[in-house]
Amino acid sequence: MSSSLIIGQYVPGNSVIHRIDPRSKIAIIFFYVVIVFFANSVMSYGVLALFAIGASLISKVPFPYLMKGLKPVWFLVLFTFILHLIVTKQGDVLISILGWEIYREGVVQGAAISLRFFLLILVTSLLTLTTTPIEITDAIEELLGPLKKVRFPVHELALMMSISLRFIPTLMQETEKISKAQASRGVDFRTGAFKDRVRAVIPLLVPLFVSAFKRAEDLAMAMEARGYQGGEGRTKLRELTISRRDIAAYIVFAGIVTALFLTRS
Amino acid sequence: MDQSQIEFRNVSFRYQEDMPWVLRNVSFTIGADEWVAIIGHNGSGKSTIAKLMNGLLFPQEGKILVDGEEVTQDTLWEIRKRVGMVFQNPDNQFVGTTVRDDVAFGMENHGMPREVMIKRIKESLNAVGMTEFERHEPHRLSGGQKQRVAIASVLAVSPRYIILDEATAMLDPKGRKEILKTIRTVQEERELSLITITHDLQEVTQAERVIVMNGGEVWMESTPRDIFSKKDSLIEIGLDTPFVSKLADHMKDAGLELSREPLNHQELLEELWTSRSIK
Ligand SMILES: Nc1ncnc2c1ncn2[C@@H]1O[C@H](COP(=O)(O)OP(=O)(O)OP(=O)(O)O)[C@@H](O)[C@H]1O
Ligand SMILES: [Mg+2]
C-alpha cells in the first residue's frame, strides 16, 4: 500500500541532475521549452535530443519510468503525426495508399512535431522524476517571489501546495478505509451500470468530505496555536542554494542554445 | 513583573451571544514548574479553557494573564511562544511534509534562525525518541509516533507552559506511559509547567494538582489523593476513580484500615503490609 501512496513520480536518486537546485532545473526547462520551437533542421533537432537524452542518462532514472510520462500523450503524438500526413500537401508524393497521397513535407513536419512533443515530455518528466514535489513547491515560491510586490499571494500559494502534498496520502488512506468499510456492507464500486457505480461512490465521497473539512478546521487551529501568522517575518528551514553544479548546468545549457542556433537552417 | 504563572480571573465564556455560557466565573492559577491535570465530563469546558490559554479564543468576561500579561490580540504572538499546545488528533496537527519540517514549523513561524532550528530539531526529536524518523513522511508513522512529533514540535519552541489536550487519548497504554515518562523527564530538565487535560485516571494521579470542571465551573481544586477520596461526589458529576482507589474502598468496607488514599499499586501494597504488621 505504502508504495502506491508516494505522490508525484519522484524516483529517489543521487545523480547530478537530482542535486541541481530545483529553481535552476525549472528555469532551464522553461527555456528549453521555448527553444524547442526554434529547431528547424535535422542537426538542430539532434542538438536538442542530445541534451534531453544526455540528461536522462545522467539522471540514472530507469528507462520504464521515463516512458511512463509519455504514456498519456502517446495517442496525441500519433494523432498529430497522422494529421500532418493527411493535411500537408507539399513536396513530392512519396507513396499513395488507396488513393490517399502522402507527401514528403507531411512526413517531415509530422516527424518534427512528434519529436518536439517527445522532447518536451521527456524533459518535463525528468524534472518531476528527479525533484521531490516539496522541492518544486519551494522553487515555485522562490521564482514567483517578485510577484509579491504586486500583492500576489506567493507564500499562501506555496503553503497550499505543501499542505496538499502533506494531506493527499492521508486522504488516500482514508478513502481506502472508507471504501473497505462500505464494501463490507455490500456496496459494489466495480461492477454494474455507470449510473449505479456513480451512486455507489456517493457514500464514499460524503464521509471523505466531511472528514476533510474537519481536518481543515483542526489544522487551521493547530497552525494558529503554533504561532502561524502568514509569511511575514517567517524564517525557513528548507533552503535552496545555487552551487557549482548549477553553474555547470547553465553553461552546458548555454552551449546547447548556441549549438542550436548555429545548426538552424 | 516576574510572576511565571497562568492566571484565570473570573473568566466567563460562550461561543456565541445567543448560546449558553460554556465557562462561568472560572478562576485558578497554574504556577511555574507545576503539573496540573484538568478533568471533567464531556462538554464541561476543558478544551475551551485550553484554547483560552493561548489566545485561540478570548473571554467575554474576566481576564487571563500569562506571566502577568493579559492575553489580548496584541500580546497573542508573544504568548503563543510561551504557551505550547498539543491536540488530540495527531494527524490534524501535522503541518509539515516530513517530521523535521513539522518540528520546524513553529520555529519558522517565530522567525528563528536556521542554525538554531537545526539544533533544536535534533534535541527535541531526541527527547521524544524519534531521532531516526527525522526524514519520514507523516503517512509512514503510527498515531503514537505522530503524537510524539507533535510534542517534539512544541518542545522545539521551548515554551514555559505545555497544554496537552487529551494528547495521549489515541495511544495504547504502553505508548501513553512512554509519552508521560518523556514529558516528565523533559519537565525535570527544563523550566516547564504542564497542563494535562485527560480522561485517563493514571495520568491524573501523576499530577501535582487537579482541577475538576463540572458544567463550566470549577468544581474542585486539590491534590489527586484528596480528589479520589471523594468518590461518591465524583461519580455524581460523571467521573470515575482509579481501579486502585476502588479496590481500596472495597477493602475498607471489608474492615481493613488504610491510613491514606492509595494512588497506585505500589502505595496500596505498602498500605497493606504496614497496616497488617504488628507495630
Ligand atoms: N466551536 C464551538 N462552537 C460552539 N460550541 C462549542 C464549540 N466548541 C465547543 N462547544 C461547546 O462548548 C462546551 C464545552 O466544550 P469543550 O470542548 O470545552 O468540552 P470538553 O470539556 O473539552 O469536552 P470533552 O471531554 O468532550 O473534550 C460544549 O457544550 C460544546 O458543545
Ligand atoms: Mg475536549
For residue B34, give the nearest of B187, B150, B242, B231 by alpha carbon. B187
**Does A7 map to a domain?**
no
**Does A235 map to a domain?**
no
Residues A41 and A110 placed together within one structural domain of the fold: yes
Q: What is the pLDDT of residue A108?
A: 86
Is 0.95 surpassed by the pTM of this model?
no
| Chain segment A51-80, per-residue pLDDT in tens | 999 999 999 888 888 887 777 788 888 888
CB pair distance less than 8 Å for A237 and B104: yes
Paired strand residues for B218:
B213
**CB of A221 less than 8 A from some CB of B:** yes
Task: Let me know: does B120 contact B128? Beta carbons within 8 Å.
Answer: no
Could you say which ligand is closest to the alpha carbon of residue B213? 1
Percent of chain B scored above 90 by pLDDT?
54
For residue A167, give the nearest of A1, A5, A2, A10 by alpha carbon. A5
Q: Which residues are CB-neighbours of B157 under 8 A, at least 6 positions away?
A: A226, A227, B81, B84, B106, B107, B110
CB pair distance less than 8 Å for B109 and A226: yes
Rounded CA gap, A225 and B109, in Å? 11
**CB of A42 less than 8 A from some CB of B:** no
Q: What is the pLDDT of residue B2?
A: 58
> Where are any strands of DSSP class E within chain A?
93-97, 100-103
Q: Is B241 in the pocket of ligand 1 (CB under 6 A)?
A: no
Q: What is the pLDDT of residue B213?
A: 94
Q: What is the pLDDT of residue B194?
A: 92
Task: Let me know: does A129 contact A10? Beta carbons within 8 Å.
Answer: yes
The complex scores an ipTM of 0.85
A127 C-alpha to ligand 1 centroid (Å): 48
CB pair distance less than 8 Å for A236 and B108: yes
| Chain segment A79-137, per-residue pLDDT in tens | 888 888 888 877 777 777 777 788 888 888 888 888 888 898 889 888 988 998 888 98
B163 C-alpha to ligand 1 centroid (Å): 17
* Mutation test residue for ligand 1: of B12, B15, B165, B217, the one with most atoms within 8 Å of CB: B15
Q: What is the pLDDT of residue B48?
A: 95
Lowest mean pLDDT among A60-69, A189-198, B77-86: A189-198
Q: What is the pLDDT of residue A3?
A: 39
Give the range of the structural domain holding residue A80, as residue numbers without chain letter: 16-131+241-263
Q: Is B238 in the pocket of ligand 1 (CB under 6 A)?
A: no
Cβ neighbours of A170 in B, within 8 Å = 91, 138-139
> Phi, psi at residue A262, to the nearest 5°?
-75, -30
**Does A234 map to a domain?**
no
Q: What is the pLDDT of residue B277?
A: 62
For residue B111, give the nearest of B78, B72, B74 by alpha carbon. B78
Residues A89 and A219 placed together within one structural domain of the fold: no
Residues A127 and A172 placed together within one structural domain of the fold: no
Nearest CA in chain A to B153: A226
Residues A116 and A150 placed together within one structural domain of the fold: no
Residues A122 and A23 placed together within one structural domain of the fold: yes
Atom index in ligand 1 nearest the CA of residue B213 equals: 21
Q: What is the pLDDT of residue A2?
A: 38
Over chain B, what is the mean pLDDT?
A: 88
Ligand 1 atom 5 nearest Cα: B15
Q: What is the pLDDT of residue A183?
A: 82
Average pLDDT over residues A40-57: 91
Could you say which ligand is closest to the alpha carbon of residue B23? 1
**Does A230 map to a domain?**
no
Residues A126 and A21 placed together within one structural domain of the fold: yes
Gap from B56 CA to chain A (nearest CA, Å): 7
Q: How far apart are the first and last CA of chain A?
A: 53
Residues A111 and A153 placed together within one structural domain of the fold: no
**Does A46 map to a domain?**
yes
Average pLDDT over residues B54-81: 92
Atom index in ligand 1 nearest the CA of residue B197 equals: 22
Burial (CB count <10 Å: 0-12, 13-18, 19+), residue B6: buried
For residue B70, give the nearest of B55, B49, B89, B86 by alpha carbon. B55
B42 C-alpha to ligand 2 centroid (Å): 7
β-strand pairing of B35-40 with B209-214 = parallel
Paired strand residues for B49:
none
Could you say which ligand is closest to the alpha carbon of residue B165? 2
Query: What structural domains does chain B harbor?
Result: 6-224 (3.40.50.300)
Residues written for chain B: 279
Ligand 1 atom 2 nearest Cα: B15
Task: Let me know: does B111 contact A235? Beta carbons within 8 Å.
Answer: yes
Element (H, E) at A128: helix A104-130
Residues A121 and A32 placed together within one structural domain of the fold: yes
Nearest to A225 among B54, B117, B118 (CB): B54
**pLDDT of B160 above 60:** yes
Q: What is the pLDDT of residue B11?
A: 95
Residues A252 and A187 placed together within one structural domain of the fold: no
Q: Is B44 in the pocket of ligand 1 (CB under 6 A)?
A: yes
Q: What is the pLDDT of residue A5?
A: 41
Residues A102 and A26 placed together within one structural domain of the fold: yes
Q: What is the pLDDT of residue B276?
A: 62
Per-residue confidence band for A40, with pLDDT thresholds at 50, 70 and 90:
confident
- Amino acid occupying residue B116: V
* Ramachandran area for residue A233 (φ above 0: left; ψ -120 to 50: alpha; else beta): left
Task: Let me know: does B194 contact B154? Beta carbons within 8 Å.
Answer: no
**pLDDT of A28 above 90:** yes
Any idea of the CA torsion for B89, B94, B99, B102, to the nearest 10 degrees? -140
Atom index in ligand 1 nearest the CA of residue B44 equals: 21
Domain count within chain A: 2
**CB of A213 less than 8 A from some CB of B:** no
Percent of chain B scored above 70 by pLDDT?
97
Residues A182 and A255 placed together within one structural domain of the fold: no
**CB of A219 less than 8 A from some CB of B:** yes
**pLDDT of B113 above 90:** yes
Query: Most B CBs within 10 Å: which of A5, A134, A237, as the mutation test of the B interface?
Result: A237
Q: Which residues are CB-neighbours of A32 under 8 A, at least 6 positions away?
A: A48, A51, A52, A123, A253
Average pLDDT over residues A182-201: 78
Q: How far apart are the first and last CA of chain B?
A: 53
Q: What is the pLDDT of residue A102?
A: 80
Residues A218 and A246 placed together within one structural domain of the fold: no
**Does A108 map to a domain?**
yes
Task: Let me know: does B252 contact B193? Beta carbons within 8 Å.
Answer: no
Angle between helices A63-70 and A104-130 (to 10 degrees): 120
* Residue B118 grid cell: 537545526
Lowest mean pLDDT among B199-203, B216-220, B240-244: B240-244
**pLDDT of A138 above 80:** yes
Nearest to A237 among B114, B154, B157 (CB): B114
Q: A106 or B108: which carries more pLDDT confidence?
A: B108
For residue A29, give the nearest of A264, A253, A255, A246 by alpha carbon. A253
- Amino acid occupying residue B10: N
Q: A94 or B144: which carries more pLDDT confidence?
A: B144
CB pair distance less than 8 Å for A235 and B85: no
**pLDDT of B271 above 90:** no
Q: Is B68 in the pocket of ligand 1 (CB under 6 A)?
A: no
Q: Is B15 in the pocket of ligand 1 (CB under 6 A)?
A: yes
Q: Is B3 helix (H, G, I), strand (E, B) or coil?
A: coil
- Amino acid occupying residue A153: P
